Amino acid sequence: MRQHSPAMVCPICQTAMIVKTSAFTHFCKQCDYWGAMLPVDIDGATDDEAEGAISDQAYIASLEGLRVKNFKLILAQLKQLKFETQISILDVGCASGLFMRVAQAQGYAVKGIEPNRQLFALTQQQGLNVVHDYFPPQQPLHEKFDVIIFNDVFEHIPDVHQILKNCGTYLKQDGLLILNLPNAEGLIFNVSRLLTACGWSGPWDRLWQVMFRTPHLHYFTFKSLNKLLAQHRFFAVGDKHQIATIELTGFWARLALDRSLLGFLKNCVLYLGTLCLYPAIRLAEKDTFFALYRRDNVSDRQ
Ligand SMILES: [Zn+2]
């Protein structure tokens, strides 16, 4: 069922979006952009002590192997663009510092910024250079960076325009902005949409992380992301890089964390289904991509 929603305006073209697939998801046909009207509670998450920290850590651990692999792909791209290890990287929403550790092991100087108190503490305990705040921090950093990276963070940010403006402020001239985020063209995204139409909304809700304190608010295609970034004079360097989000190793453990939502039987169906479809999943459009952007500084000087 589709209806006009006066409540959500497309952040890219500023026209009204339609409610599509579920009551909370909105779509802009012109931009091929998906947005969600979901409550965000990052501050609440900061005060949420024991239980949240344990589930976050278990969730992070279950994803770690695959994420390390993906981070190495990103760093390989940096090297290809001659961003050698003497450069500085700002990791926005660094969570428990995994990317920082991988980059630091390769010799990069990385600073992290993380608003969640527990994740900040976890990162600091590892001796990593991390600031406890949102981006941009209240206390200015008094430095500019060669690279600013958002790993699984950009899709959680309500005001993407404000964030992009701040990236312009903190990036050195000819610096790179790297966005690593979910893909609206991904196979799982589109299969989940079909399943919702068939009456099973579990995977769709899971994709948007509706049960989490900081759900996904945006799903971009590479094209729609480019359209948004061009408004802040960021232009893609090369094509998008698709990265795998599913690996059978650790997949069951990750599903099992969502006991309350899907239940054991649904997890079994999802796991067996994934097992059968795995060869196709490997060939299809991936559900995450990263892209590198350079700012057009020429217009600054005009
Ligand atoms: Zn639009």
For residue range 60-116, list pLDDT tens digits in order. Answer: 666 788 899 999 999 999 999 888 778 999 999 999 999 999 999 999 999 999 999
Is the preceding omega at residue 182 within 30 degrees of 0, hence cis? no
Q: How far is the CA of 44 from the centre of ligand 1 (A)?
A: 31
Give the pLDDT of residue 136. 93
Q: CB-side exposure of 32: number of CA atoms within 13 Å?
A: 12
Q: How far is the CA of 10 from the centre of ligand 1 (A)?
A: 5
How far is CA 180 from each of CA 142, 204, 222, 241, rounded to the nearest angstrom?
25, 20, 11, 9
Nearest to 137 by CA among 154, 109, 110, 115: 115
Q: How far is the CA of 198 from the centre of ligand 1 (A)?
A: 27
Contact between residue 106 and residue 85 where contact means Cβ atoms under 8 Å apart: yes
Measure CA 167 to chain center: 16
Percent helix, strand, coil in the chain, to 5, is: 45, 25, 35
> How does pLDDT run across 162-200, given as a tens digit for each residue?
999 999 999 999 999 999 999 999 998 999 999 999 999
Has residue 54 got a pLDDT over 60?
Answer: no
Q: How far is the CA of 29 from the centre of ligand 1 (A)?
A: 7
Q: How far is the CA of 17 from the centre of ligand 1 (A)?
A: 7
Q: How far is the CA of 90 from the centre of ligand 1 (A)?
A: 29
Report pTM: 0.85
State the DSSP code for 155: G
Residue 40 CB neighbour total at 10 angstroms:
16
Q: How far is the CA of 244 from the centre of ligand 1 (A)?
A: 27
For the chain, domains (ranges, CATH) are 40-301 (3.40.50.150)
Cα torsion through 92, 97, 101, 103, rounded to 10: -10
Nearest to 112 by CA among 90, 135, 133: 90
Q: How far is the CA of 159 from the centre of ligand 1 (A)?
A: 15
Q: How far is the CA of 137 from the centre of ligand 1 (A)?
A: 29
CA 258/CA 206 separation, integer angstroms: 9
Q: How far is the CA of 227 from the centre of ligand 1 (A)?
A: 9
Q: How far is the CA of 28 from the centre of ligand 1 (A)?
A: 5
CA 249/CA 24 separation, integer angstroms: 32
Instruction: Map residue 11 onto helix, strand or coil.
Output: coil
> How does pLDDT run across 254-297, given as a tens digit for each residue?
677 766 666 788 888 878 887 887 777 777 899 999 999 999 87
Q: 56 is written with which tokens? A: 């976050």
Contact between residue 106 and residue 75 where contact means Cβ atoms under 8 Å apart: yes
Judging by beta carbons within 10 Å of its beta carbon (0-12, 13-18, 19+), is residue 86 exposed, middle or buried?
Answer: exposed
CA 157/CA 36 separation, integer angstroms: 11
The partner residues of 211 in beta bridges, in order of sequence, read none
pLDDT, average across residues 15-22: 96
Of the two residues 39 and 184, the one the predictor is more confident about is 184
User: If you average pLDDT over every residue of the chain, what do you get?
Assistant: 87
